[in-house]
Amino acid sequence: MPTVTIKDVARESGVNISTVSRALSGAYGVHGKTRERVLAAAAKLKYRPNRVARAMVTGRSHTLALIISDIRNPFFAELARGAEDAARAGGCDLVLCNSDLDAEKQMDYVQSLLEKRVDGIMMNSVAELSAAQQSQLASCGVPIVLLNRGGSARAFSTVTVDNRAGGQLAAQYLIQLGHRRVAHLTGPRRHGNMTDRALGFVSAMKAARPAGQVTVIHGQNSFSGGYEMARRLFRDNPRVTAVFTANDAMAFGALRAAMEAGRSVPGDVSLIGFDNVELATVVHPPLTTIHQPKYEIGQAAVSMLLRHVRAEGRPVPERLVLGVELIERQSCRRLKE
């Protein structure tokens, strides 16, 4: 309780505080004997270095931040776990921020994190950032890696999956099963990753022979968002034979809506999701979906970030794009002609 500092250790071991500092940091330039004495004293006193003091002088806080929309989305939970494991392995703590896809909240977080001198920030930035925001972020002094493509300016490092290819995969699968009148349930407009998914899906669908018709609906990218959109869809647009949701959470919501509307999946309508969260195997029917490597995204993001942190100076933006794949389960069926 009576906080013991490096001074106490110095007194106890009869050396100067700078010697203690060196001995403790395992640096060279300290006699074996002295070092042992210091270590013993530190142990005896139960000395615990004060990392905020250290951070102040070194300028490195050994803290990383992860700004996501909502940790309750299993996709982000998995990603966060990958990030936390990697951060810990790299000697850093991870502070978690939920932005709810709210641009203002997101910038507030960044501001606050900068004041706290975090060493780096990972974020799935809301929509495309305004030019002002972009430059503000780019020149904020700490490395940032985006979890989505970084808008027009190539100023940011990013780690993403190939969202566009994912959308195409979903479309091609549905096309091949004979679906042409389909819907795509997605998140808010200008949500980076989801926009790409939609792009890939719609373009592939249009390119089919005969061409498909796709209704795109925007809403909340959550369970309840999916539920709401699907409810409206089934009511207003009952002739749709398949729906592709921009994530699994929305697919679960759609599943729920289908159940309540008395529409069988895949009997009456086929459903395909995106993410491949663990629970996709246990819903009924098991959900066909596009798999993305969630844990690995988090991991890769921190290792890229850590590399930038250690590199000093303004880092050269890097971009890593990971692959996706179609996981076929039982929520889609072939359309009889």
Partner DNA sequence: CTGAAAGCGCTAACAG
Partner DNA sequence: CTGTTAGCGCTTTCAG
Distance, in Å, from the CA atom of 131 to the CA atom of 111, rounded to the nearest integer, reads 17
Question: Is residue 108 within 8 Å of 294, Cβ to Cβ?
Answer: no
Q: What is the CA radius of gyration of the chain?
A: 25
Per rule CB under 8 A, count of chain residues that contact a second copy: 52
Interface with a second copy, residue 329, by CB under 8 A: no
Minimum CB distance to a second copy smaller for 282 or for 316: 282
- Sequence-separated contacts (24+) of 320-323 with Cβ below 8 Å: 320/158, 320/159, 320/160, 321/158, 321/159, 321/160, 321/161, 321/162, 322/159, 322/160, 322/161, 322/162, 322/292, 322/293, 322/296, 322/297, 323/161, 323/162, 323/165, 323/293
| Minimum distance of DNA from residue 224's CB (angstroms) | 42
Q: Which of 214, 283, 297, 300 binds a second copy (CB under 8 A)?
A: 283
Q: 10 Å Cβ neighbour count for 334?
A: 11
Nearer Cβ to DNA (6/300): 6
Measure the CA angle with vertex 75, ends 136 and 93; round to 5°. 60
Per rule CB under 7 A, count of chain residues that contact DNA: 28
Work out which of 36, 39, 50, 146 binds DNA, going by CB under 7 A: 50
Considering the complex, state which of residue 63 and residue 195 has its C-beta at the smaller distance from a second copy.
63
Residue 269: CB minimum distance to a second copy, A = 16
Task: Classify burial at 53, counting beta carbons within 10 Å of its beta carbon; exposed 0-12, middle 13-18, buried 19 or more.
Answer: exposed
Q: How far is the CB of 37 from DNA (least distance, A)?
A: 9
* Under rule CB under 8 A, residue 252 binds a second copy: yes
How far apart are alpha carbons 110 and 126 in whole angstroms? 13
| 237 forms part of the interface with DNA (CB under 7 A) | no
Q: What is the dihedral of CA 136, 142, 148, 153, to 10 degrees?
A: 40
- Number of other CB atoms surrounding residue 132 within 10 Å: 8
Q: How far is the CB of 20 from DNA (least distance, A)?
A: 7
CB of residue 308 to DNA, shortest distance in Å: 19
182 binds, among a second copy, DNA, none (CB under 5 to 8 A by kind): none
Shortest distance in whole angstroms from residue 115 CB to DNA: 8
Which residues of this chain interact with DNA, rule CB under 7 A? 3, 5-7, 14-19, 21-22, 24-25, 28-31, 33-35, 49-50, 53-54, 56-58
Q: Which residues bind a second copy (CB under 8 A)?
A: 1, 3, 48-53, 55-56, 61-63, 70-72, 74, 77-78, 80-81, 84-85, 88, 93-98, 111-117, 139, 141, 223, 252-253, 255-256, 259, 278-279, 281-285
